[in-house]
A and B are shown apart, each in its own frame.
Chain A
Amino acid sequence: MNRTSKIIAKDPGSRSRRSRRSGRTVKNGRTVREDIRLIRRGIREFDKILPGQMRHVLLKSILGACIPLTAVFASAWILNELAQGQRKERLFWLCLFAVGGTFLLSVLKYIQDAKAAVGFSCLFSAHEIFLTQKTHRLPFEVLEMPETDRLREQVSGSISVSGAGMASLYWDMEVVIAGLCRTVAAILLGAGFFRAFFGAPGTAAQGGNSIRLLFPVLCLLTGACVYISCKMAGKHFDISFEVFKRGAEYNRFGEFYTMNYLPDENAAMDARIFSQEGIILRESQEKCYRRFAQGKRHEIRAGNRFDGIRLLSACLCGVFVYALVGWMALSGRIAAGEIVAAYAAVTMLISALSELAQIITDLRNNNEHLLNFFRFMDLPEDEEHLERCLSEKNSGKLQTEEHSGIGPAEAGSGIRLEHVSFRYPGCESWALNDICLEVRAGKKLALVGENGSGKTTLVKLLCRLYRPTQGRILLDGADIWTLPQEEYRRRLAAVFQDFSLFAFSIAENVAASDSYDGEKVQRALREAGLLAKTERLPQGISQPLFHHFSEGGCDLSGGEAQKLAIARAVYRDAKIMILDEPTAALDPFAEAEIYENFGAMSEGKTAFLVSHRLSSCRSCDRVAVFTAGRLVQLGSHEELLEQAGREYLRLWEAQAQYYV
């Protein structure tokens, strides 16, 4: 694994040097050995996505390759027997072998088919879930980078759009195995025919030399045919791949419209009122579909050319073989029965070898997709996540830990920010600049400021989602980044403006676990003001939400969803509570209710509240005012109002004038 990741790392730089060294074997800037290494890693990763699947595929393709072979072998033998011996008993057994062998092999293959099909039915979803699980393990700042998102979409796109990447690896392996089997079989099948060239001395007496000379011709022709096949197939694949690669780019646009924008209820209102039809049709056609069509045209026309040459060369080679074999049979060098077998052997050899060559081209091209996959899998991870997942296997553990974990944090001095600065990766300006702030345990702080002044960033820093670029955040005197992540997060309950609910049961949403404490869930719901609603539901707290996952789920209004998110924070029973604009979309009553509950819920807890509604600041002990990443004012609401000409007063007056 390490070695492959090194390859990935140095891939672009070393390309030119390597290609100069050995021009022919390098493809897409990789040598054969590197490609093989990537494929091997791909197979290992595939085994993680669908354990055991590759084995079924192996067996299936070996069996699949053997089935037509028995038939070909048997019919060749039968013909031979008919032409020469005509022993009835022998014919009987040969027939039995032909049909019985096929039958047995088929049954074996169908068993593997069934197993493989079961696995395959999950492949695409399992692949997506595998990727999503990886995103769960990413550090938050990596998750938020647009590059990550794009990489993820590329990886997803390559499998879902044209079955490249892992799916291609899967299919290709099947073909590789089959191709190998067929090559071996072709040589076995043609053994009699090939021997005829150098045949027994007795027959060689009749002009044996000219026959011997024909053998190299046959070999040359077969070789040429295979070579043309490979070359043409390779070219065709390269073009398809090129077209595909560009297609993934266009597909983003197409998918945006078909999957996101057009089916969206809210977007549909805009689309109608603003008559966006023209622009949407134009954009999707121009940026996606027309290019798809052009790419396809290019690909198919190229296919006509390359496949045409391939087909012609194979046909002509076959005719030559027939003529040759026929002539050899005429002159008695081989038995009549060998004619069919010889022809079958040569054509099979050609097709198997060119198939192999094609599939190798495809596999090597596919490595581009695999590389994306590996790049995504190689993104850094939260180290502790792994350990936790491992310990999670025995599920009871979490609960006990959760209870015991709260203990030691209680007696403390609160949260202190020491010269905290933060800059988003790739950004010049500071999102937060030299913030010093202390919030004593049990006190409440309101964070206000204009859009983009750094409030939400600060919240993310507090949640340990970002690491401060400079300075540090202390909890009870200890840098939060030195605490075990789980432990720190367990002391923290946050409700974000853009919280997410999952289509699982209400209780699972509240407890973030399937082994929850029912009473505690109910308590949390009561505190958040949602118990009345849940009690009216037929399944109570185990009622699923929405309709995506389970049937008969319930829908929530904006206010109810917000309350559910708050209940989640309450359930956690943490000492630090963070609310980031929890009421932007709520009506005054719901808003008032939530702030009201906020008072009760955060009683005795350290709390941070971000809000544009300055009215909520009055319920906090202190208010921190941010402008452009700096902390400009700090004090109680009343104190700040007295500071004439400052930011807080400006904000307050802008809003309060309408209510006085």
Chain B
Amino acid sequence: MSGRLLVAQATTFDLPNVEYSRFLPILILIGGALGILVLASLIGGRVAEGWWTALSVATAGAAIAASCWLWNDIQRDGPGTAVSDALRIDGFSVWFSLVICSAVLLFSLMADGYVQRERLGGPEIHVLALLSASGGLLMAFANDLLVLFLGLEILSIALYVMAGFHRRRDESGEAAMKYFVLGAFSSAIFLYGVALTYGATGSTRLDQVNRLLTSLRFAGGDRNLALAGMALMIVGLGFKVAAVPFHTWTPDVYQGSPSPVTGFMAAAAKAAGFAGLIRVLIFGLQPLREDWRPAIWALAVLTLVVGSVLAIVQIDVKRMLAYSSINHAGYVLVGLHANNIDGVAGSQYYLLTYAFTVLGSFAVVSVVARQGDSSTSIEDYRGLYFRKPLLAVAFTLLLAAQAGVPLTTGFLAKFSVIRAATTEGDYSLGIIAMLVTAVAAFFYLRLIVTMYATPEGVDAEHPDSAGSIAVLTQARTGLKVMPATAAVIAVSVAMTVGAGLWAGPLLDFAKRATIFFPS
């Protein structure tokens, strides 16, 4: 009798239907990471380091392919949900899947040369990057605040370890510690926000939160609870995307972390954070837009201004790029604030193109930093053009793109978000954003000029004289561009300039992949 009851209970228990194929990119990343770990424990030490890189790149490539395949599915069947509505499968998730998987692919290539130079060998860095990326993807796919939190934690915990990956450098450990303490703090704040939202609406699912907020007539306590939850979630995610005033960790962590990891943080972690923020605000909390738009406006202005002004006074390139990445977050917030299709598409486009630009930039930084990863002051770039002309030219293009010079993706990205802002009648935000571009040009140009300035001891008019050549040879030692790193730089430059010239397809794709895509 009791046995029959058990069976009856078991049949009524509703097992979620797991459509594995619909979130294949996440599974591939996790599978790849675990596969590499298993292989490493079986045959580790007996194979060349390059194999781990190859496996990691293959995994990321497979995830990219799976994302493209998913995109075709969505084109055919329309967007939908999976795993009992915990995940949302739409153009938006595919877009961020592409951003983060590309970032992890480029990162693995970059890390290859880095771990060899710094003798940090082993497959761990690739495993961590793949896991971290899977967390980022989970955030982009999330239709549930708890899934979002889960993604945030997977992303972050792997990143804490990556930040401290350079075991012999104190700065690296310090960065990891800082990132961990502040990151854990912000995760807690985010989780608290989730709890309050649940308290106010009775659900953690974004579509239900949206519906409840629309249908219920919020009054008194409930509304305040929802607003408090919203504020805390903005703070928690604002930390991840390094929006001012939640940015204070960024310069220290960016400076201390191994250069490739910093690039990965700026590209993938920022993109994932924004994916979460857009999911929460534009989708889940859309009914509260009158409340969050002013907050995002203030965040955007602060982030734009503080990021660019503080970048001017930096003398360390990694710190400068950290502030510049804060500044870039401001532009993405401008697109988010617009709260329309153009704005979201602009933000998405911004994050994709910025991922390539910033990864390329940090690839250059990690080359110039040399063994020990410590030559990162602006003075270390003096005369780079005379030592490594191609490297200097590539860096010039990447910095010009970040400064928003036309004919690069950087300009189109800024144009897209500013256009979205002005469409909403926000002329002031548009003009502030453009004026900040002028401020930002200042520090990018300073770095560029330094690269073309003649190094000490070299005669500008006779760079071929014996004395000059001796100085240059001396300065060139230790500046070694590994083939994989060169590939990363080449891909980033090609993407930045190529998509800047042949601009239509990517912009169209961004527009079709917005969160508003027929639902």
Q: Do A and B come from the same complex?
A: no
Give A residues with C-beta under 8 Å from B: none
- Give B residues with C-beta under 8 Å from A: none
